[in-house]
Amino acid sequence: MGRTIIVTGASKGIGRAAASLLAQDGWSVIGLARSAPADFPGEFHQVDFADAVATQRLAERFAARGEIVGIVNNSGAARAESFGSIDPAEMFAMIAFNLRPALQLTQAILPNMRAARFGRVVNITSMVTRGLPLRASYGAAKAALESLTRTIASENATAGITANAVAPGPTETELFRANSPPGSASEARYLAQIPMRRFAAPAEIASAIAFLASEGAGFITGQTLFVDGGAGLGAPAASS
């Protein structure tokens, strides 16, 4: 392609898998995360997305690079919390952490996309936007990101820019396992909702991301693709 794409949260898990697959597909990849991986298939910058000023400085540097016409907004954080116990300040801090970097970075490179008459925005949300227990702040943040995805899509469709979301089900990442350790009640609760009776591999989510970033997905925009092992179908049928 001769084009460059940013992947946030790129040091591990879904982000790292997506970076590898996008590089294989011909993208030049810029990875962003708080800690650097041992190896990376492209350029890498360390940034703490909790620091709004540092994030904005980086966004402004990227705005000056006209070859950056794609972004995968993958970084985020989740925690277990019941609705009745949420502290409002902590909730809005969680929403900001999950939403603000995507806003800052995507806004910065949008003029590049419009000038190129081509752009790809892929926002990573979650199946929790359907409404699951103990994920109020995280679910609210990811639902807002899905809404922003549709807004970006509708405002930029005539400029050759697509914006879509990938909503993974439970995936074998460090973030997921920090909240749902093996053998935990949380793990059992998730498995009970998935007809495939397993969790996703990061590479399976990366495949959906790479497709939506591809030339071939140019007529798909404003959509949320749930990659969740059939969790949206309802309670799994009994095994035959």
pLDDT, tens digit, 9 for 90 and up, residues 121-146: 999 999 888 887 777 888 999 999 99
* Predicted TM-score (pTM) of this structure: 0.92
Measured distance CA(36)–CA(16) in Å, rounded? 11
The pLDDT confidence band at residue 233, using thresholds 50, 70 and 90, is: confident
pLDDT at 234: 72
Mean pLDDT across the stretch 2-20? 95
Whether residue 237 lies inside any domain: the answer is no
> How far is CA 145 from its chain centroid?
9
Q: Which residue has the higher pLDDT, 189 or 36?
A: 36
pLDDT at 102: 98
Instruction: Round the average pLDDT of the chain to a whole number and report it.
Output: 92
Whether residue 62 lies inside any domain: the answer is yes
Reference 112, options 58, 60, 44; nearest CA is 60
Does the pLDDT of residue 8 top 90, yes or no? yes
Query: In Å, what is the CA distance from 185 to each residue of 22, 80, 174, 191?
Result: 35, 12, 17, 10
Instruction: Look up the CATH number of the domain holding residue 217.
Output: 3.40.50.720
Whether residue 239 lies inside any domain: the answer is no
pLDDT digits 0-9 by tens, 94-115: 999 999 999 999 999 999 999 9
The DSSP letter of residue 226 is: E
Q: Would you say 44 and 37 are in contact if contact means Cβ atoms under 8 Å apart?
A: yes
| Residue 190 falls in the annotated catalytic set | no
Whether residue 74 lies inside any domain: the answer is yes
Whether residue 236 lies inside any domain: the answer is no
Query: In Å, what is the CA distance from 190 to each residue of 23, 120, 124, 132, 164?
Result: 32, 31, 19, 10, 25
Quote the number of domains for the chain: 1
> How far is CA 5 from its chain centroid?
14
Whether residue 233 lies inside any domain: the answer is no
pLDDT at 238: 64
* Catalytic residue from among 97, 138, 199, 226: 138
| Local structure of 7: helix, strand or coil | strand
Does the pLDDT of residue 80 top 80, yes or no? no
pLDDT digits 0-9 by tens, 201-231: 999 999 999 999 999 999 999 999 999 999 8
pLDDT at 78: 78
Does the pLDDT of residue 47 top 60, yes or no? yes
Whether residue 35 lies inside any domain: the answer is yes
Measured distance CA(207)–CA(95) in Å, rounded? 27
Q: Would you say 235 and 47 are in contact if contact means Cβ atoms under 8 Å apart?
A: no
Query: In Å, what is the CA distance from 214 to each residue of 69, 201, 220, 224?
Result: 12, 21, 10, 16
Q: Would you say 202 and 11 are in contact if contact means Cβ atoms under 8 Å apart?
A: no
Whether residue 176 lies inside any domain: the answer is yes
Which residue range is the domain that position 84 belongs to?
A: 4-225
